[in-house]
Amino acid sequence: MKTFEEIFKAAPTVMAEAPGRVNLLGEHTDYNGGYVLPTAISQKTCVLLHPNKRKSFRLYAATLDEIVSFTMETPPKKHFASYIYGCLHEVKAIGADIPFMDIYVHSTVPIEVGLSSSAALEVATLRALRILLQLPVEDIMIAKMAQRAEVKYAGVNCGIMDQMASSLADVEHMLFIDTRTLETEVLPLPADAEVLVIDSGISRTLAASKYNERRAECIVAAQQLGVEELRDITDPNLTNELPSPFRERARHVIKENNRVLAARKGISAVDFGQLMNASHTSLSQDYEVSIPELDLLVALLQKNKDVYGARLTGAGFGGACVALCKTGTVCNVSDAVLKLYNEAGNHGKRLVPAQELIAEQITTEQSATKIH
């Protein structure tokens, strides 16, 4: 992997990083004003900056080995750069004077599997800009700015969970988030439990279009129930009179919110796993965002004696599954489950814990040591 110095012929001035995340409970609730329960993963995105003397920004993505140039008035032509372009505009919107600069991005967060690689990129970029420009913005504001950047400039009508998790979560705890009030609470993971994430090997080809479709269905369901958002209802039986598919969509959101609130109280790993299992059933049957491969992978995980519970994570229609396993068993569980899953003609792989923290990360860290 090429270093910052090799690309830009200078040393970076600042470095910042942000983690990806996996959502343990609370899927498709954040854009309904509801509750979520993510945790950070060990893989991170690192952004290095250095003001240049040019009349444009230069952005190099190490993972893609691509470089693009742009200005604030001329958006970048590559979509991956639109996330950073949006962050620059959000910083400009709060009155900051932004110099032209060279931007270097390196990431070990898996992309397009539901682990929030885009949010990690946005938060890392904003953290680096906060350091460089001495911005008076705290972590929740960073999350808000990151979400706006993704919605307005990357064209993804996302909720705020991913950015909040990347900005505030850590790998040793769960982060309860009320996505309406942005109240947060750091909670311990269930005792004697570890998190396992497995990629189904299926790209999320329908996730974007179906995501927007589900959002629209939830808005209609809330209107039919006479509330601002589905978060305002706690009794799933109130959905019984709704026509399909609004009945099923609302029922999932209401029950999912209730599951997160139950987990927030502090429950055993066994009980937490049961909530995860129920969540997947709901996502598959009521919200209809699963596919046969995800259902198979979850079923294999749930049958393993060392797994408390499992479910798809992320938007669905491909991507990853998350499982809560007995401490010390995640490698054995993933090996056993992936053997069966891949024997069926699939191409799954373990993502968390990472098979390895990519050796290229060392190069980035070496560059970081040269920052003045």
pLDDT of res. 207? 66
Residue 369: pLDDT over 50: no
Instruction: Please state, in angstroms and rounded to a whole number, the distance separating the CA atoms of residues 12 and 106.
Output: 13
pLDDT per residue as tens digits for the range 175-218: 999 999 999 999 999 999 999 999 999 988 766 778 889 999 99
Is 295 noted as a catalytic residue in this protein?
no
The mean of the pLDDT values for the chain is: 93
Give the closest residue to 366 by CA, choosing from 8, 11, 7, 9: 11
Domains, the chain, ordered by start: 4-188+357-368 (3.30.230.10), 193-352 (3.30.70.890)
Amino acid identity at 172: E
Q: Using an 8 Å Cβ cutoff, are 176 and 264 in contact?
A: yes
Amino acid identity at 30: D
pLDDT per residue as tens digits for the range 12-67: 999 999 999 999 999 999 999 999 999 999 999 999 999 999 999 999 999 999 99
pLDDT of res. 356? 60
Can you spell out the DSSP letters for 87-112?
A: HHHHHHHTT--PPPEEEEEEE-SPSS
What is the pTM (predicted TM-score) of this model?
Answer: 0.89
Amino acid identity at 295: D
pLDDT of res. 244? 98
Helix (H, G, I), strand (E, B) or coil at 281: helix
Taking residues 338-348, report their average pLDDT.
97
From 162, 199, 286, 295, active-site residue: 162
